[in-house]
Amino acid sequence: MKIIDISAPLTNGLPTYPGDPEIRIEPALLLEKGDGATVSRITMGDHAGTHLDAPGHHLPGGAALDAVPLSLLMGRALVADLRGVPEIGVRELESLPLTGEERLLMKTDNSLLWSRPGFQAGYVALSKEGASYLVRSGIRLVGIDYLSIERFGGDGSVHRTLLENGVIILEGLDLSAVSAGVFELVCLPLRIPGGNGAPARAVLRQ
Active site residues: 57
Question: Helix or strand or coil: residue 197?
Answer: strand
106 DSSP assignment: E
Amino acid at position 11, single letter: T
Please compute Rg for the chain using Cα positions. Answer: 17
Nearest to 98 by CA among 129, 68, 69, 141: 141
Torsion angle of C-alpha atoms 9, 12, 16, 22, degrees rounded to 10: 140
Residue 62 burial (CB count, 10 A): 16
CA angle 120, 155, 55 (to 5 degrees): 95
